[in-house]
Structure 1
């Protein structure tokens, strides 16, 4: 959440826009659910409209002490003022862009009472981020509001978030500044005799000391370099010692004031690649940079994907889903070229079926993975803003680590 220079008027304008869309659809209002605490996933709803992050990890309901822990819901009626219902009171109220904030140890009862007060307890009401609801929350709502019909409308939020405001861009740039510095620390620390966890260690201090948080990081190396991560949990190996000549790759995602940066790099431990290793890493970097060079307002996602595929084909890369030839480099699956980002992973995704036209101030991640049987997968990812003239690449860490 924004901790300084909070644009309260901007949050109000977002809610008013949302309210207008709700009215157009004939809905009585919208419930915007979010979740926080031990998971960074799916906090963006309340964050976007209220500048509120629900701290405290999920805990099973322990009534009468608490219920609904880690969840919050912002209710915006079709007419009238919004209400934010929280499940803990430990937060900076001066930073939240909502006047009416409510709390009760009986979370489910408060949700129901507030919905009735706002005229949102029956009939058609919009819902955003329904996937964060537990079965219990859904069951309780149905028991207490049997005439309520929830209408999914995440598209209102996703459409609004496509183009970033100047205040958002300020945080986005800071996230990339911290993330790029962390990536430099990681890649400079890759060396034989260390575990993947030891390679990551120094970067974590940088991330946290700068006011950001680690959202997600995975590494893979050596015999597991064809996988996204060597170990499912925590995503990096703290036991196996990496060796010279092995492929090492990392995908790093951090969040600053809620806004994420998401990029990756690949190298060879010892920095002395074979010709085959050098070729796959150089091609994946060149391919992504080629796509980035074409970014500008007016071009479609579909056109960028086609340009990327054509580039790979010109370098002898196969797009086939059958990937068994050890002498052949393949485009890794799923076959996409990136996505939009912000408070989370957002539309558009870079796939051929997407006809979205790029606009100024869209925040994008361009990425690709290439795979060769017996050698592993090389990945590369960059973050950028769309400007009037092209791409402003925000990822400043070194591109090629060879």
Structure 2
């Protein structure tokens, strides 16, 4: 059965207490966003399984503060408390006592004073906390020093449990199904919007949650998406021979999938298009093959880079501008996570462990040539990499 049981959430809370104590903290506040967004929800969800769909609303003094957000206050020597602005958090119930308050900031401050000893308190998920809320907490809690502690959240979520890996496999499979639906819809005469709709419908039909996409085609295939809140161009109809570049993100029970594919619409690829498609695909697969326990992150990235540099595409066009596509990949779970798969820089010397989930891939975007992307999800196992996003 898919899902995380209450016992595992309680184990996660205990693990976070241990991480906080080792860091010299008296407790942590995990802060997350809801409102049907899939950015910045992971820290509260990881500890309690709670996600609320109340959308964000601007603060109204005396009526509500931080609508659409939630917090967990977790002392190192006491029970967790979940604080939200709405009791309508759905089923199953969260794995922590729940208290609701229209002013979430005031409720967090009140509980910190009473439940957490004076001293340093780690804030996990601070990127989702608006500056006025942060400043208010600091001003009304002179005995508690709030310090950024996102590294605790990353550390707690780095290696996945068996239940999490089952969810990630299910999520990757759904991503493959949705991408297959998009591919089937990508025929000459169809619009980018119709391709997007086929993928979103497949995700929703299967009970997943749509997160986002980047889609572009033809002469604009080197761009990531339309410059509009809708990532597709509703009036742009596909023609035979067009490159269609498609990135898709979504989740199953909060656990994300991320994959990218590029197709030639209604025709066999030209020689130039074959070179482009092979370069992104082969470099990504080389990195996936290197995703084994004990491998350093930088070595995995260098393997991707070496294969790309030896590609026919690179031989004919040279290397794209440095850093054009960013890192070669990243961790995956309840969010896009470290480690960032780069040849150099922070984390390059880090070693991969069994039980980690990664996304590896590459994107080329050259206006005079076109754009292509290839990306797969992979679980690191003791016996080698396990690709969880079906190929097309």
TM-score (norm: length of structure 1): 0.91
What SS class does the counterpart of residue 338 from structure 2 fall into?
strand
Seen in structure 2, the aligned counterparts of structure 1 residues 136 and 82 have a Cα distance that, compared at 3 Å, is same
Q: Does 1:394 align with 2:388?
A: yes
Aligned residues: 388
| 8 Å contact from structure 1 (residues 194, 242) kept in 2 | yes
Residue 38 of structure 1: how far off its partner (Å): 3.8
| Cα distance change of structure 1 residues 352 and 169 upon mapping to structure 2, 3 Å threshold | same
Residues in 1 aligned to 2:32 and 2:83: alpha-carbon distance in whole angstroms: 11
Work out whether residues 37 and 56 of structure 1, in 8 Å CA contact, stay in contact via their aligned partners in 2: yes
Query: Aligned ranges for residues 79-98 of structure 1 at < 5 Å?
Result: 79-92=77-90, 94-98=92-96
Q: C-alpha deviations, 1:126-152, integer Å up to 9, x for none?
A: 111111111231232233223432111
Tell me if the contact between 1:221 and 1:230 (Cα under 8 Å) persists in the aligned partners: no
SS at match of 2:339: strand
CA contact 2:256–2:332 (8 Å) conserved in 1: yes
- Structure 2 CA distance, aligned partners of 1:250 and 1:308? 21
Cα 1:336–1:107 shift into 2, 3 Å: closer
Q: Displacement, 1:317?
A: 5.1
Q: CA RMSD in A?
A: 2.0
CA deviation after TM superposition for structure 1 residue 63, in Å: 5.1
Equivalent position of 1:381 in the other structure: 375
Where in structure 2 are the equivalents of 1:23-102 lying within 5 Å? 23-62=21-60, 64-92=62-90, 94-98=92-96, 100-102=97-99
Matched with 1:369 is 363
The 1:203/1:171 distance shift into structure 2, 3 A limit, reads same
| Aligned counterparts, 1:117-266, within 5 A | 117-119=114-116, 122-266=118-262
User: 2:92 & 2:219 partners in 1: Cα distance?
Assistant: 51
Alpha-carbon distance in 1 for matches of 2:76, 2:317: 61
- Provide structure 1 residue ranges, at least 5 long, that are not aligned to the other structure: 320-325
Q: Contact 1:56–1:70 at 8 Å: present in 2 too?
A: yes
1:322: which partner in 2? none
Report the Cα offset of residue 372 of structure 1: 4.1
For structure 2, the 5+ residue unaligned runs are none
Q: Which residue of 2 aligns with 1:103?
A: 100
Deviations 1:82-130 (A, max 9, x none): 11111111123643111x211122323222211111135x531111111
Deviations 1:209-260 (A, max 9, x none): 1110110111011121111113332111112222222211110001110000
1:38–1:57 Cα contact (<8 Å) kept: yes
Give the structure-2-normalised TM-score. Answer: 0.93
Aligned to 1:344: 335
1:267 aligns with 263
Partners of 2:230 and 2:46 in 1: CA distance: 29
Could you tell me how far apart the structure 2 residues matched to 1:149 and 1:383 are?
39
Choose 379-388 or 268-277, whichever is displaced more.
Answer: 268-277
Pick closer, same or farther for the CA change 1:389–1:119 going to 2, 3 Å.
Answer: closer
Per the TM alignment, residue 318 of structure 1 is displaced from its structure 2 partner at its CA by 4.7
Q: Report what 1:22 is aligned to.
A: 20
Matching residue of 1:356: 350
